[in-house]
Structure 1
Amino acid sequence: MMEQVILVDEQDNQIGTEEKLEAHKNPKLHRAVSVVIINDKNEMLIHKRASTKYHCPGLWTNACCTHPKPNEDTKDSAVRRLKEEMGIDFSELNEAFTFTYKKDFDNGLTEWEFDHTFVGKVNNPEITPNPEEVDDYKWINMDELKQDISNNPDIYTYWFKVIVGKL
């Protein structure tokens, strides 16, 4: 079966499911999860999306993102995806905020998400990134990150810029 996303209304009430790519071709609001990892030095873990990703390849973004599976809790999906994408086995994530955004991409797809953003504070995690998802990663000081986003906005994902603005 093709990967499904959870369709939601403006209040994040589930109203159905749809095949993932279809929900991006004919935009429908769907549930998403973003994970932010920060250490005691006020540095954030960011990664460069793999060049093979179907949208936003090669752009820098937060530790990981995903779409919860049908009947999967948002925190469970955050923990699962952090392990799958970055190889980090860490469950002490707290939901910090939610936001909705809609963004059209050059390839004709649209991301329209009700995003649950989780934050975790961890020092020196073992990181083993999935090469199908991640081309590179680094820790960056929050002040430097905000300045770089201001100077070079085109190298960061749209949703990541929203997240950093809310932290």
Structure 2
Amino acid sequence: MTEFLDVVDENNKVIGEATPQQVYDQRLNHRIVHVLVFNDKGEIFLYQRAPNLAFCPGHWHTSAGGLVQKGEDQEHAAMRILNETLNIDIPIIKLLDGPYDHYKMRKFCTMFRAISKGPFTLNPNLAMQGSWFSIADVKDMVKKNQLVHPELAYVMEQLYP
């Protein structure tokens, strides 16, 4: 089954649909979500992307993040992706959303927060390992560009300027 995404205009209004490949090949505006999972110490769980992934293999990523499918709202997308990535079903809280201009396209990014101590069962198709990090450590990783996915950098800059 082919996956489709909503294509949106500069104001985040749906204007069409496309496959993920078409979205990236044609640099079409679309929606993404990211979830940061915190433990009771205030640390963020990040995972390192699997080596088989086409974009940014081996880079550290938010706890869960990805594309919003056609007709899907951001909260359901975040819950779906959290389950696909970490195999958990926990409540999430919307933090903020905003435009993320990247590679000559605009991604409308909605960010969420969740609380869990784990343990998590990482999806081996997406992640090779995961670990807890302090906010200061993640900010330092971003500043030094230490194998950080660009969307993790964006999320951290938005939430912790």
Above 0.5 in TM-score?
Answer: yes
- Equivalent of 1:118 in 90, 94, 112: 112
Equivalent residues of 1:24, 1:112 under 8 A apart: no
Counterpart in the other structure of 1:165:
157
Distance 1:60 1:98 in 2: 21
SS of corresponding position for 2:79: helix
SS of corresponding position for 1:71: coil
Equivalent residues of 1:88, 1:126 under 8 A apart: no
Runs of 5+ unmatched residues, structure 2: none
Find out whether 1:128 has 2:135 as its counterpart: no
- Residue 100 (structure 1) shift: 1.9
Equivalent residues of 1:103, 1:111 under 8 A apart: yes
Counterpart in the other structure of 1:140:
133
Distance 1:19 1:148 in 2: 32
Equivalent residues of 2:10, 2:106 under 8 A apart: no
What is the aligned residue count? 159
Q: Residue type matched to 1:36 in 2?
A: L
Equivalent residues of 1:46, 1:140 under 8 A apart: yes
1:74-122: CA deviation from partner (whole Å, max 9, x where unpaired): 10111111011111221x1111111222333xxxxx7641111111122
Q: Which 4+ runs in 1 deviate beyond 6 A? A: none
Equivalent residues of 1:87, 1:126 under 8 A apart: no
Equivalent positions of 1:38-57 (< 5 A) are 38-57=38-57
- Residue 69 (structure 1) shift: 1.8
Alignment TM-score, normalising by the size of structure 2? 0.91
Distance 1:61 1:3 in 2: 22
Q: CA RMSD in A?
A: 1.6
Identical aligned pairs, as a percentage? 24
Counterpart in the other structure of 1:85:
85
Counterpart in the other structure of 2:94:
95
Counterpart in the other structure of 1:63:
63
Runs of 5+ unmatched residues, structure 1: 105-109
1:9-55: CA deviation from partner (whole Å, max 9, x where unpaired): 22221111101111101100001111111122110010111111121
Q: Flag the 1:78–1:100 CA change in 2: closer, same or farther, 3 A.
A: same
